[in-house]
Amino acid sequence: MTEQRVVLVTGVAGYWGARLAACLLAEPGDEDGIRIIGLDREPPAEQIQGLDFIQADIRNPALTDLLHSEGVDTVCHLAFVETIQPSQTAFELNVIGTTKLLAACAAARVRRVVLRSSTAVYGARPGNPAFLAEDHALRGSTHCGTIRDLVEIEKFCASQRHQAPQLMATVLRFASIVGPTADTPMTRFLQDPWALSLLGFDPTMQIIHEGDVVEALVHAVRNDAPGVFNVAAADALPINKIRGLAGKPPVALFHPFAYWGKKRLDRAGQAGERYLPIEPDYLRYRWVADLRRMHEVLGFEPRHSAEETVREFAAWRHADRTLAKLAVMARDEEQLRLVVEQRRQARGQPPLVGELAAAVVRPPEPDQTDRLDIEQEWRKG
């Protein structure tokens, strides 16, 4: 009988780590299944059924002993802090933490490791080719903390391949992630009406659905595919079309003012995330990744197209706003009813009961079914 395979997920208390662990535990495993160990500095906010949780930091010197004693076969590294501006604290966890984790994996003879990265590591530049292959130079923005840290992590991974060739590494570079529950630079750009575009620029961009991100991670954990892979939906869309599909108002700024404004906000210590959640260069120049290795080597196909993903995002946003309005109306109704009863009581009148109260037909509270109905009606309209 084959031994049970052990997979360790770092950052299991975070959004991606929790979703990956839940999916791995929900799906049927190999012949004898897999055991999922979750590692994080804090326990997950919600209990994940079947998860073997260990509370620890990835920088803990005893991590090598843990990996060895538990017989860990695969590590999926998702412990990452995203920041707009470069941060020493984030650098310590993201970059230094990853280097120590990979060193521990090599020392404990872990067979393979899966890491999440971004196509933003290529950088957005006027001289970029039509499609950026995985061997293209990493010239991502050094002004964004997340991108800077990802570039440093990938450079270390590349050097680690020569120092520890026995450790199989799979790096997934995801395009801009969009979905109803994910909090990413692209979702913030599309949902905030004050997030600016650049006047006169309409670069083609790639999108990946949040569900496809999780499925790609599951695929990489379950299948041996060493190397680096770009992961995105097949259709790339101009940023203005993406903005239109999402129902985002056309707020654009002359590009020199965007760069100047970001520098001013950074120097003043004010986060420009609300106005420019995406670096100006990435709204100005093309950075479209080549997907051939994803299809031919990784063997992964996203379920959602870019257009479907953005349309779904827009529908959920509309449904959320509608439900919020209904909730406000219901709350206002309750407050007014309370005022009416208090005033009747002050005048010595009996409570409002009988025929008048019975004649008032109160609408039901919105639930998940109402949400879906609202979304369907909105799409028809």
Written as one letter, the residue type at 184 is T
Comparing CA positions, the residue from 132, 158, 145 lying closest to residue 285 is 132
Instruction: Please give the pLDDT value at position 359.
Output: 46
pLDDT in tens, 260-275: 777 776 665 555 566 7
Higher pLDDT among residues 178 and 254, named by residue: 178
Q: Which pLDDT score is estimated for 255?
A: 82
Mean residue pLDDT across the chain: 87
CATH superfamily, domain at 5-180+206-232+288-303 = NAD(P)-binding Rossmann-like Domain (3.40.50.720)
Instruction: Look up residue 92 and give its DSSP letter.
Output: I
Residue 333 clears pLDDT 70, i.e. is over it = yes
The structural domains of the chain, with segments of one domain joined by +, span: 5-180+206-232+288-303, 318-380
Q: Are 120 and 140 in contact (CB under 8 A)?
A: yes
189 contacts 157 by C-beta, under 8 angstroms: no
pLDDT, mean of residues 300-324 = 86
Amino acid at the residue 74: T
Helix (H/G/I), strand (E/B), else coil: 178: strand
10 closest CA partner among 92, 74, 87: 74
305, 291 contact by CB (below 8 A): no
pLDDT-based confidence at residue 355 (cuts at 50, 70, 90): very low
Q: What is the CA radius of gyration of the chain?
A: 25
Residue 166's pLDDT band, with cuts at 50, 70 and 90, is: very high
pLDDT value of residue 75: 98
**153 three-state secondary structure:** helix
Quick one: which H or E segment has residue 44? none
* pTM, rounded to two decimals: 0.82
